[in-house]
Every structure is written in structure tokens, then in C-alpha cells.
Chains A and B, each alone.
Chain A
């Protein structure tokens, strides 16, 4: 299974950059699966930097298996389970979760692994030769992860009492290594041509069934043998009887271990007796079966080929020698079985992981998984489920949360290469026990703000985790972006969203400047429907009121319009730069037949005009022609206003 280790998978890539021809490349991890690389200008012999033209930065991206559709499925599906587990933890607060609940979660994870495994297998079967490269490797990876996960589930999560644990392990073997089923199928497939008993794998199939403790199936197989007779009591009937009578520990029916052990001893004594009596000397294969039943060490050596690996023989061996073994004693027997397969030096990465699991060393399991698996999925979720839940009392060390955080960040980092997984990444980062907000804040700043809809989603994320500063900064970025695109209305909406009154004032000023230059408002439809938000900034209020004036004027409600204009001037809400324009707006009102401004109002307007006239600072900013224009306008206004005053007094 060593092909699953990542080291040999070296990718090579040529970067076409003429400036890199004769100097070293410098590369820097960007995080995730990205590398930034460039060729620096190197000093030559005289310590002068050669000018080789522009230096290009190259963004190199590794294609990790995170991009793979099946991995995406795993990531998203397991994220849902992960999220609900975190939710559950939050609900019970400091108390640790119920073990049966954790078992449910563990099974959910396992079923995801299995469904992915099945899907890849289906794909491989469907497209015969031209399937994607690496698909087979993916399938192996999933089956291996499932194997590890299910073993860890039996040992760490289920935490079964003596006896029951071995039954589960037998099931584990049956589920993951269907060798026996394959052999049986092979034998029984061609009943017509060759009877199963004369098939070369017939006995192997029987052995495999017995090795996996599937006695009734083994008996069914034996019945297919031509020498098997029900009427005569011979060696076949004898072994059949032994198999039939083999006691099975029924923990769930309330059987006590002592009771079972007694039964077991009686049964095995009987097996031994029959073996020594030479009941099976005539049929050598049956003798082998009986030897298995007696737990004969030698026979396991012989059949090691059929078992395939040390952990499978370990379980078989324990089944026939020590069926009520304690969970914590499993590894005492592992050495014997490992020696059958060439000792410790022959152990593969997977073997080491499983051995660590049998030794009940969770941290070792996680360490080995980190080293040997090509992704962080398994160690991350396993740590979260087992280690962090304090399922193993001896290991509830302080640094378990550190380890979990480290793995979560690693896993999130590996995913961050895929742009669309940003919400999953954020969710994992947010689950860190310490510094989660810090990580999250750093990450949120790096999510590309590609569309308004995505920004809305990112802002929801900020809201969920109370990232107020980041949310503000995003709003500001969006406002700036809209502003550079000359979308003042949109920019204003973003200001309002972030409640940024100074920026809103700036935008209102921009609108007014545009008006002063062109005489028309663009993007003004937002202003007309601002509602109470208009009070956010003084300038915005003015803009809104000024729009109202134009509207009233358009609707020929001159009196109201005139009053509004006067209010704008007197209350000093209007910026000084616009006073002249406002006063000029009053001019047509002065020409109306009906007197709109009375004595008092006209005097106020004149006072405003005088104030404006005395503003040297403002005046000095203008250009020569503007100055002339300015003075002329003031003169004209003064004349009209005095005329109006006269008219008002007379009437």
C-alpha cells in the first residue's frame, strides 16, 4: 500500500521565463497549494546587478486531490456531519457527548467513506480502459481510510466489554476482506461443469470461512462434499458436530463471560480429544479445520497465505485461543502474528497505523495517518471525534485541543486552494477552540469578492462569527469599487450598509460636484428613496432636500419650493460652495407674479448673499473668468433681491 504515500509523486513543470535562464529561482509558499516563484536579479562579479528586464512573478498551483469530484463530495458531505457534531457539542456545553451519539457520528463518517469508495468502483467498472488516471489509487485510498476508521471506531468509540470486542473485530474482517466470499463464489459458480468440491479452491474456501469464524457457512460448504453423509457417523459428521456446537459469545443476550468461558473450554477440550483420538486422520483437510478450532499455532502459520495479513490472523488466532480477550490486551498477541509475516521490518504504513490502533495509542495512530495519508481528512476528523471527545481517559491530555486545532488549520489550508470551498474552510477554522476568530479574520480578508451575491454571503459569515471590522472593511472595499466604476448609487448603498457617514458625505459631495459641473444628477434614483437613512450624513440630507426642491419646483409648487430653499440657506445645511447656485435657483421665484418671499425672507436671502460676498477664501480659489462670472451673478442677484424687497414692502 506504499503507493499511497505522497513522496514519490513529484510533479515537474517548466516555467517559461527568459530571465530565469541562468540564475536561481526563488519560490515561496503562498499557503494551500499555491507557490509564488520568481527569478531574482543576481549580482555579477563586479557586484553590479544585471538589468535583465522585468522580473515576472509566477503563480504556480499544485493540483491536489482536493479538486477531484469525489474528494469534493467527501469534503462537503463530511462537513455537514462535522458541523452538526460541533453544533451538538455547543448545545451540551462543557459536558462530553454521549458515547452512543458519537458512535452515530462515527458511522456517518464511515458511510460517507464507503459510498465514495463504491462510487469510484462503479466508475472503474463502467469505463473499462480509458478511466481517469489515479482513480484506482483513489479507490485504494478510500478503502484504506475506511479500514482504519472502522477499526478505530470499534476500538476507541464503541469501547466494548471483554468478549464482545472480538466479535466486532471478526465482523470487521468479514466486511473489509471478502476473500472467503470470493472463494465460495468461485467454487459454487459452475455447479454444472465442475462440482464445487472438486474445485481447486474448495478447501481454501472452507478454511477461509472457518478462519473468519463463519461456522454455519463452513458447514454448508462441507455438505457439498461428496463424502459427506448424514446417515453414517464419520469424520465429516464429527467435524460438522464440532462446528455446530461451537459456542458463540452472545453478549447482548446477557450471557456472562464466565459462563461462556466454561462452555468454550468444554467445547475446545472435545475438539482436542477428537484430534488426538485420530478422528480426522483419514481426511487431512478436516484435520486442519480441527486444528484451527483447537487454536493450534502451527496451523495458522500454514494458513497465513489465506489470511493475508498479520491483523487478520491476529483476530482469527484470538478467536480460537482467547475469545473473551480484553480490549487493552489485544496488542500483547500482535507480536506473534507480526512475526508470522516477517517481523516488524516488513510492516507497511498501513500496518503501522493499525498496530498503533491495536496498542490503543491514539496519538500514534493520528501521527502515522498524518505522515502516510495523502490528505488531512482522516486525522482531522478522527482527532475531532475521538481525541477531543475525551473518549480515552488516559489520553485526555491538555494538548489534545492544540493538536485538533493544528489539524483543523491544516485541513482548511489544504482546501483553501479550491476557491468555491471558502465557506467550508471558514467553518472548519471557526471550529478551532482557541484563536478561531483570529484565523477566521485572516481568512475572510482573503476571499475574493467576485460578485455582490458572494459578498452578501461573506457578510452573513462575518455576522455569524461577529467579525465586525472585517465586515466594515468589505463594505468599504465594495463602496470603493463602486466608486471607481462611477456607480455612485451603489457606493452610497454600501456606505449606508456599513453606516459610514463620512464616506457617504464624500459621495454626496461627488454627486453635487457632478451637478455643479453638468447641471444634472446621475445615479440620483437612490437618493429619492432613501427614507430615514438620509439623516445619516448632513450632506446627504441636504442632497435629499435639494432634490425635493427641484421636484416641488417641477410640480409648480413655488411657495413650498421657495420656503424649502430658504430653509436650506438659513439653516446653513448647504455647503458654502453651493450657496450661489442655490441663490440663483431662487431667481426664477423672484420673477413670479405672486410674491413668494416677503420682507423678512428677502432680508434673510440678502444677508446670505452678503455673507457669500465676504467669503474671500472661497473667492480666491476661483479662476479669473469664474471670478468675473461670480461677481456678475452676485450683482444680478442683489438687484433682483432688492427689487423683490421693494415689491414686498409695497404690497
Chain B
């Protein structure tokens, strides 16, 4: 496992690989969004890969390190901190800002252009958007004000505004299908909403624990859509089965502190990546078979946890696996690219 570390002079709240068209292609472009700075922006980065073959000499090694460092290709200022970011398609990114605005940015590296294509201004009050989710052409944004907004890429007006449906701040959102949306909140609930239903109330509320520990992030299993993984503020990864009752299938203490983000690997779904406030990045390997998972509560663990980034002292805010590369960003204004993460 090789890792590459770059200091980028900004705290990044979100990093995302540009989606690859085939599984053979290595991801080489990613976007990042900064937060908590006087001037925040989103940036597009290019990564050169180590192309060194075994017969090449070690003196090229320095050049390789140099070329595998991410290079900033494009940059665009945003009004407020970036809180959520997700690719809608190959070249456009939905960005949720602390000003409550959701914007759609389109970029083209060859043309050296990065510009806002569409904007839905001030959808959220208070501290703005906390997360966005996308499933082309649908977008969802959530905020601390407990509001969920649904948008479509080519529509200027949001399709649906569910104002204040959650009385606690919503921390993250994920689209399971284009009509099914799940959200997590500070009260430790995982809620499912159905876009087709006329009512604003959730179709299902699942509770992670009785002690009101907040949930920070959610993702769904790429092949078994009913399996939802959430990351808690206490460092637990809580797995739910959306078909079954409201209690978690399994609860695993993976980290010491808040799990800021967790993502399943898109093409090898037996890997779940998690990053945390305690400064570690870990990988969970299991088949995510609900039967074995629930029996795990009573004893032997079929889950293997491996350390991808040993404690670096500062919080890791975001991560994104693609191919065998894992991208992470930390509060020390650093971006890590971990090779052979799978």
C-alpha cells in the first residue's frame, strides 16, 4: 500500500473522484471543496500515476513521487463553505454550501473552464446545507434546519421542498433509488422518505441506539440496496436492513470518534471504507450478509477491519474509493491518495 500526501493549504470538507467509465480505467481527476476558510472554493485536481515498471531504476523514484502529486487544474470560488458535494455525471458536480444554496458546477479540463451552470439559491436557513445526494438527473439537499429539498438538474425551481420535516438537524443524505431517499440526523435516526408519497412524513424511522447518539453519514450497499450503513458520532458503524424492523442489524465499534463519512466500494462491495474524527481511515471486509451479521452480535465476528491510514492526529473529513485508489482529506489541509486500498 503506497500513499501520497499533499498539503493543499485549505481544509477540504469533501473530496470526490470523477466517475470512471470502465472499471479498467484508473481514476485520474477529482474535485474538492473547502470549508471554514475566509475564501472557500471548489477545485479540480489531476493525478499522474506511478507508471514505473520494475526494471526502471530507483533514481526515477523522486520523479515518480513528483508526478503522482495531485496538481490543481481548475478553481472556482464559492459563496460559503462547501458542505456537500456529489457528481451528477462525468463533468458536473452538485455542491451544497453553508449559505443554503445548492449549485451545479460544470467543468472541462481541456477547455480550462469551471463554471456554475445552475443555482438554487437559499434553499436552507440556519447554517445552510449539510449534504447533497445525486442520482442523475435528481438531486437532494438536506440542512440543519431539518428541511429536505428535491431538485432536478434542468429545473430552475426545486421539485419539492419538505420544510422542517425533521426537528433535529439532518447530517447526511443518500439516494437509494431516484425516489427513495434516506437521511440521518443528530438524534441518531435513519429516516427513509419516499418521493412519490404525498405526505411529508418519513416512510420509516430507524433508531441506532437508545442514547441519542447522532449519526453522521450514510451509504447503501451497491448490490444489495436494502443494506444501509451509517456512521455514528460515537465511532460506531451501524448497519440497517431497510426491509426489516427499525432496529439495527449490527453495531460495530470501528472508531473512537465521529465517523464523518463512509462509502461502499462501487465495484467490490465487500469493502466498506470509513473515516473518522480520530484521524484514522479503516476498511471493513465482509459479505454484508444480514443473517451472519445479526448473529455476529452474539459472538464470532465475520468482519475484518484493516487500517489504511494510521492515526495522523487530525480529523479525516471525507473519503472516496474508486478502483484501487482511495482519496481522503484531513483537517491538516492535506489530501491523501492511498494506492492499492482494495
Residues of A in contact with B (beta carbons under 8 Å apart)? 67, 69-70, 72-73, 76-77, 79-80, 83-84, 418-420, 423, 450-454, 456-457, 460, 485, 487-490, 493, 496, 522-526, 529-533
Q: Per a CB cutoff under 8 Å, which of A84, A418, A420, A532 touches B313?
A: A84
Q: Per a CB cutoff under 8 Å, which of B81, B166, B167, B210 touches A531?
A: B210
Q: Are A529 and B187 in contact (CB under 8 A)?
A: yes
Q: Are B212 and A77 in contact (CB under 8 A)?
A: no
19 contacts between A and B (CB under 8 A): A67-B38, A76-B333, A80-B332, A84-B313, A420-B35, A420-B37, A450-B36, A451-B98, A452-B127, A452-B130, A452-B186, A453-B130, A456-B214, A457-B277, A485-B125, A529-B187, A530-B212, A531-B207, A531-B210
Q: For residue B312, which residues in chain A have a CB less than 8 angstroms away from its CB? A: 80
Interface centre among B145, B167, B210, B258, by most chain A C-beta atoms within 10 angstroms, is: B167
Interface centre among B169, B188, B312, by most chain A C-beta atoms within 10 angstroms, is: B169
Q: Per a CB cutoff under 8 Å, which of B128, B145, B207 touches A529?
A: B207
Which residues of B in the span 54-113 have a Cβ within 8 Å of any Cβ on A? 81, 83, 98
How far, in whole Å, are A523 and B168 apart by their CA atoms in the complex? 8
Q: Per a CB cutoff under 8 Å, which of B10, B125, B169, B210 touches A532?
A: B210
Apart from A487-B167, A525-B166, 6 more pairs, CB < 8 Å: A72-B333, A419-B38, A453-B171, A456-B233, A490-B169, A493-B168
How far in angstroms is the closest Cβ of chain B from A326? 38
Q: For residue A526, which residues in chain B have a CB less than 8 angstroms away from its CB? A: 167-168, 187
Residues of B in contact with A (beta carbons under 8 Å apart)? 7, 9-11, 35-38, 81, 83, 98, 125-128, 130, 144-146, 166-169, 171, 186-189, 205, 207, 210-212, 214, 233, 257-258, 277, 312-315, 331-334
Interface of A is mostly: helix
How far in angstroms is the closest Cβ of chain B from A578? 21
Q: Are A490 and B186 in contact (CB under 8 A)?
A: yes
How far, in whole Å, are A451 and B214 apart by their CA atoms in the complex? 15
Given contacts A77-B7, A450-B127, contact A460 B277 (CB under 8 A): yes
Interface centre among B38, B83, B207, by most chain A C-beta atoms within 10 angstroms, is: B38
How far in angstroms is the closest Cβ of chain B from A501? 15
Q: Are B127 and A451 in contact (CB under 8 A)?
A: yes
How far in angstroms is the closest Cβ of chain B from A111? 13
Q: Are B331 and A525 in contact (CB under 8 A)?
A: no
Q: For residue A456, which residues in chain B have a CB less than 8 angstroms away from its CB? A: 214, 233, 258, 277
6 closest A-B pairs by beta carbon, nearest first, are A489-B167, A531-B210, A523-B167, A69-B9, A72-B9, A420-B36
Q: Per a CB cutoff under 8 Å, which of B7, B81, B166 touches A76?
A: B7
Q: Per a CB cutoff under 8 Å, which of A485, A488, A524 touches B126?
A: A485
Q: For residue B125, which residues in chain A have a CB less than 8 angstroms away from its CB? A: 485
How far, in whole Å, are A602 and B21 apart by their CA atoms in the complex? 74
Q: Are B37 and A419 in contact (CB under 8 A)?
A: yes
Q: Number of A-B pairs whose CB atoms are under 8 Å?
A: 117
How far in angstroms is the closest Cβ of chain B from A515? 14
Q: Per a CB cutoff under 8 Å, which of B98, B167, B205 touches A524?
A: B167
How far in angstroms is the closest Cβ of chain B from A432? 18
How far, in whole Å, are A489 and B205 apart by their CA atoms in the complex? 16
Q: Are B212 and A533 in contact (CB under 8 A)?
A: yes
Q: Which residue of the partner chain B has the closest CB to A524?
A: B167
Interface of B is mostly: loop
How far, in whole Å, are A531 and B246 apart by their CA atoms in the complex? 14
Q: Are A423 and B331 in contact (CB under 8 A)?
A: yes
How far, in whole Å, are A523 and B332 apart by their CA atoms in the complex? 37
Q: For residue A457, which residues in chain B have a CB less than 8 angstroms away from its CB? A: 277, 315, 331
How far in angstroms is the closest Cβ of chain A from B199? 14
Q: For residue B83, which residues in chain A have a CB less than 8 angstroms away from its CB? A: 451, 453
Q: For residue B187, which residues in chain A have a CB less than 8 angstroms away from its CB? A: 489, 493, 526, 529
Q: For residue A530, which residues in chain B have a CB less than 8 angstroms away from its CB? A: 212
How far in angstroms is the closest Cβ of chain B from A239? 34
How far, in whole Å, are A67 and B257 apart by their CA atoms in the complex? 30
Q: Are A76 and B332 in contact (CB under 8 A)?
A: yes
Q: For residue B7, which residues in chain A have a CB less than 8 angstroms away from its CB? A: 72-73, 76-77
Q: Are A460 and B257 in contact (CB under 8 A)?
A: yes
How far, in whole Å, are A70 and B211 apart by their CA atoms in the complex? 44
Q: Which residue of the partner chain A has the closest CB to B186?
A: A493
Q: Are A70 and B127 in contact (CB under 8 A)?
A: no
Q: Are A83 and B207 in contact (CB under 8 A)?
A: no
Q: For residue A423, which residues in chain B have a CB less than 8 angstroms away from its CB? A: 314, 331
Q: Are A490 and B167 in contact (CB under 8 A)?
A: yes
How far, in whole Å, are A522 and B165 apart by their CA atoms in the complex? 10
Q: Which residue of the partner chain B has the closest CB to A464?
A: B257
How far, in whole Å, are A529 and B190 apart by their CA atoms in the complex? 12
Q: For residue A67, which residues in chain B have a CB less than 8 angstroms away from its CB? A: 38
Given contacts A460-B277, A530-B212, A531-B210, contact A488 B167 (CB under 8 A): yes
How far, in whole Å, are A145 and B236 apart by their CA atoms in the complex? 45
Q: For residue A76, which residues in chain B have a CB less than 8 angstroms away from its CB? A: 7, 9, 332-334
How far, in whole Å, are A84 and B311 apart by their CA atoms in the complex? 11
How far, in whole Å, are A524 and B164 apart by their CA atoms in the complex? 12
Given contacts A493-B187, A522-B167, contact A73 B9 (CB under 8 A): yes
Q: For residue A77, which residues in chain B have a CB less than 8 angstroms away from its CB? A: 7, 332
How far in angstroms is the closest Cβ of chain A from B277? 6
Q: Which residue of the partner chain A has the closest CB to B334?
A: A76
Q: Which residue of the partner chain B has the closest CB to A422?
A: B36
Given contacts A72-B333, A485-B126, A490-B169, contact A531 B212 (CB under 8 A): yes
Q: For residue B205, which residues in chain A have a CB less than 8 angstroms away from its CB? A: 525, 529
Q: Are B186 and A70 in contact (CB under 8 A)?
A: no
How far, in whole Å, are A155 and B128 apart by their CA atoms in the complex? 54
How far in angstroms is the closest Cβ of chain A from B59? 18
Q: Which residue of the partner chain B has the closest CB to A488?
A: B167
Q: For residue A496, which residues in chain B have a CB less than 8 angstroms away from its CB? A: 212
Q: Are A420 and B212 in contact (CB under 8 A)?
A: no
Q: For residue B333, which residues in chain A have a CB less than 8 angstroms away from its CB? A: 72-73, 76
How far, in whole Å, are A493 and B167 apart by their CA atoms in the complex? 10
How far, in whole Å, are A70 and B333 apart by their CA atoms in the complex? 12
Q: For residue B81, which residues in chain A have a CB less than 8 angstroms away from its CB? A: 450-451
Q: For residue B11, which residues in chain A have a CB less than 8 angstroms away from its CB? A: 420
How far, in whole Å, are A79 and B7 apart by their CA atoms in the complex? 12
Q: Which residue of the partner chain B has the closest CB to A71?
A: B9
Q: Which residue of the partner chain B has the closest CB to A528?
A: B205
How far, in whole Å, are A457 and B315 apart by their CA atoms in the complex? 9
Q: Are B313 and A529 in contact (CB under 8 A)?
A: no
Q: Are A525 and B277 in contact (CB under 8 A)?
A: no
Q: Which residue of the partner chain B has the closest CB to A451?
A: B127
Q: Are A487 and B189 in contact (CB under 8 A)?
A: no
How far in angstroms is the closest Cβ of chain B from A81? 10
Q: Are B211 and A531 in contact (CB under 8 A)?
A: yes
How far, in whole Å, are A479 and B169 apart by their CA atoms in the complex? 12
How far in angstroms is the closest Cβ of chain A from B299? 26
Q: Are B277 and A418 in contact (CB under 8 A)?
A: no
Q: Are B166 and A83 in contact (CB under 8 A)?
A: no
Q: Which residue of the partner chain A has the closest CB to B128?
A: A451
How far, in whole Å, are A487 and B125 apart by their CA atoms in the complex? 12
Q: For residue A69, which residues in chain B have a CB less than 8 angstroms away from its CB? A: 9
How far, in whole Å, are A309 and B36 apart by their CA atoms in the complex? 46
Q: Are B38 and A418 in contact (CB under 8 A)?
A: yes
Interface centre among B36, B146, B211, B314, by most chain A C-beta atoms within 10 angstroms, is: B36
How far, in whole Å, are A66 and B222 apart by their CA atoms in the complex? 44
Q: Are B211 and A529 in contact (CB under 8 A)?
A: no
Q: For residue A419, which residues in chain B have a CB less than 8 angstroms away from its CB? A: 36-38
How far, in whole Å, are A490 and B146 apart by their CA atoms in the complex? 9
How far, in whole Å, are A76 and B168 apart by their CA atoms in the complex? 34
Q: For residue A523, which residues in chain B have a CB less than 8 angstroms away from its CB? A: 167
Q: Which residue of the partner chain B has the closest CB to A79?
A: B332
Q: For residue A454, which residues in chain B have a CB less than 8 angstroms away from its CB? A: 36
Q: Per a CB cutoff under 8 Å, which of A80, A418, A450, A533 touches B211?
A: A533
Q: For residue B38, which residues in chain A have a CB less than 8 angstroms away from its CB? A: 67, 418-420
Q: For residue A73, which residues in chain B have a CB less than 8 angstroms away from its CB? A: 7, 9, 333
How far in angstroms is the closest Cβ of chain A from B275? 14
How far, in whole Å, are A532 and B209 apart by their CA atoms in the complex? 11
Q: Which residue of the partner chain A has the closest CB to B202?
A: A525
How far, in whole Å, are A450 and B37 apart by their CA atoms in the complex? 11
How far, in whole Å, are A457 and B278 apart by their CA atoms in the complex? 10
